[in-house]
Structures are given as structure tokens and as C-alpha cells.
Amino acid sequence: MHYILAFSLLLLQQTVAQLSGSVGPLTSVSSKKATKTCNVLDYGAKADKETDLGPPLTDAFTACASGGLVYVPSGDYLLNTWVTLSGGTAWALQIDGIIYRGGTNGGNMIYIEHASDFELFSSTSSGALQGLGYEFHVDGNISGPRILRLYKVTDFSVHDLILVDSPSFHFSMDTCENGEVYNMAIRGANEGGLDGIDVWSDNIWIHDIEVTNKDECVTVKSPAHNILIEDIYCNWSGGCAIGSLGADTDISDIIYRYIYTWSSNQMMMIKSNGGSGTLENAVFQDFIGHGNAYSLDFDSYWSSESTQTGDGVTYKNITFTNWHGTEANGAKRGPIRVICPDEVPCTDITISDWAMWTESGDSQTYTCRSAYGSGFCLRDDSGGTSSYTTTSTATAAPSGYSAATMAADLADSFGTTASIPIPAIPTSFFPGHTPISKLAGSS
């Protein structure tokens, strides 16, 4: 009992320490609604899937930008004209309908910038933006629009929203602060370049998210500080990542925990090729994986990135702990691959409480290069650091590798040639866990 209490206190301390302050809107939706409600139907919108929602949504925002609720009621809407909503304060955007992409321009279908005290949500947990990206992807084109982008937004939340089949990235947070993102389903095509969530911001809490796509699930990019990411379901995805990193990398105080990854490219990838700057103080704990190509793929010579200026990113004080499950083929792609820059070896790397085993064959490999710390093939730095490469092979399964699966694990991807159905937001994003916040639609 004392151990359980101590462990709970430790997790609480990690969460408090991870975020640098409070996150989320400063005022409630009910307060904003009471100030003013701007229903898009009153500004010319029609739920007929024919009338362009862009101008009415822009006009409704203009009327409520200084405080109020912009409301898109249930129904089907067409978005031909991309929307930039700039400069609002103490406002919310409630999308209870389904918005279908009609236009073909690049950019962002919905772009929110320079906002503060902001909330984007669906009160029914069934509001959705359908990008119909297959119309691009069938020809191998991923240069269409992103669905959603936030830029320099502070004290905000995005939740209970569904993003489907973006022609390009689904959701990006660029230079934002003090945000909470939760209770979302993101479902994309089986094609690279269709990231789920990308974040380069400060003091952001991302939790209870499902992502299906062929590229990154939930990814931190530079610069980023004080990011807490937990209860993430990468369901037939590219998997979570940090990077790719280049010159002047500036990332610190990152926690990923309770990450479940099924049939994806990797459970976690940290990727760079040359570059400079620092990634430090990061924890990756409580990961479960099944059927993934890579498990931990820490690659400072990532061949898909052109070599960046510099001797390499400095990686230090990074912990991987409590990883369990299986990988697709451990002899071909072992569950531990830590490849650090020869000119600036990684230091203070820890791998502990790690039990994973191969689903194919009877052996798996652990590979380390210029990586110092404790666990598996990492070297102790008591004698200094220098470049090295070592690979070891295990021929017996470790004890305790068995791990739970999720009932909603997909049997296949959604390909690239047909429309992707709009899913329901899951009621669990990690085995045995319920969402930290109840779905709005269940209230």
C-alpha cells in the first residue's frame, strides 16, 4: 500500500514538474456563451453540404472575437474557402456538425492564430472535419491542405473533435503556450506525410488521443519545452516521434507515458542527422507495443533526412522505462536501437524495466552507438566518452514481456484510394485506462 501511494505521488510530482504552469482556457464555455453566441446559421451558413461555410464562419467569428461562442450546429457543411480566425480573445468555437472539405487550395482549412483564452470542441464528441484526402492521395499527392493549425495561441484547449483523412498534416500547434488537447480521434490514410499531431510549443498537455495514419502519431518538434503526452493510442500508425531535428535544436522537459502502439512503424523514434543544439530531460515510460516494425528507434544518422549543419544534436538525461510487448521481427529490427552522434555521444541515457520479444523467429538484437548510460548495450561513461558501435543478440524471451492488447486494434489500414469513415472517439486510449476527462458527449 505504501508502495502504491509512493508511486502515485511520484507520477503526480512528474506531472506537476513537467508542465510549467496551468493549461487550458481562462474562462468557461458557459461564460463565453452567456456573453454572446454567434450561430453560423445566422450568418448565411446552411447544413446542406453545398453552401460554402467559409464566409459565414468568418463573419460569425468577427462578431464574437472579443468574447463569445461561435457555434456550428449539427448537420453536414461544405468548406470551399479556407478560414483564418485571427486575434480573438475569450472565445470558443463549438463544432457539433461535420465539415467536409470542398476546396483544393493548399494551406490550412481552419487556421487559428494570435488567440488567447480559446476553446475548440464538440459538445457531442461527434463533431468532425472530413478532409477527403483520398481525392489527392489516389494520385500520390500529399500537397493538399492541412485540416487544423494553431499559431501563437495561448491558454487554450482542443477536445472532443474528430479529424479524418487530411490531404496533408492533420493538426499542428506552432509556437503556442499553455494548452490542453484531449479526447480526439484522428484517422488518416496509409501514406507518409500525413502526421496526426505535431507540436512545437511550451507548456502543453496532450492526452487521450487515437491516431491512425502512416506517418507520425504524436510528435514533438523544435523548439519545445514542458510537454506532457500521455494515454495515446497509435492504432496502425507511423508511431510517436521527436524530430526530425536539425540546427539549434531546443527541446527540454518532455514526458511521454502510457503510449500504446499497434502495427506501426515504431513505438518511439528520435531522429536527426547532423545538426546542433540540445534535447535533454526527457522520459519515455509505460509503453506497450505489438506488431510494430521498430520499438525504440533512436537514430542520429537518419537517412531520410539530409545531413544538417553541425556535429550532431546533444542528447542527455533521457530515460526509457517500463516498456513491454512484442515487435514484428526482432532479428531484423531489434527492440532497442540507440544510435548517437560520434562527435557528441549521448550521455545519461537510461533503459530499465524493459521486456519485449519478437513475434517472428527466436532472437532479437540490441544495437548501441556512441551512447552512454545504463542498460542493455549502453556503455558506462566512467572512462570518458568516445565513438563505438556494439550489437548483442538475445535468444531467450525476457520474463514479463506479455502485455495487454486493445479491442479496437485495426485489422488493416485505410489505404489511399477510398474515403475514410468518420469514427467515434474511443472510450479508452491505453489498456485498462479510462480517459482523464469524460467525453463531452457522455455528460
Catalytic residue among 117, 160, 208, 215: 215
Catalytic residue among 290, 297, 299, 324: 290
Identify whether 137 is a catalytic site residue: no
The distance of Cα 131 from the centroid of its chain, to the nearest Å, equals 18
Strand partners, 151: 113, 174
Integer CA distances (angstroms), 410 to 64, 269, 290, 291, 413, in order:
41, 22, 12, 11, 7
State the virtual CA torsion across 150, 272, 190, 406 in degrees, nearest 10: -90
Identify whether 2 is a catalytic site residue: no
Which residues have CB under 8 Å from 387's CB, separation 6+? Answer: 342, 343, 345, 369, 370
Residues 194, 133 contacting (CB under 8 angstroms) = yes
Residues noted as catalytic: 215, 290
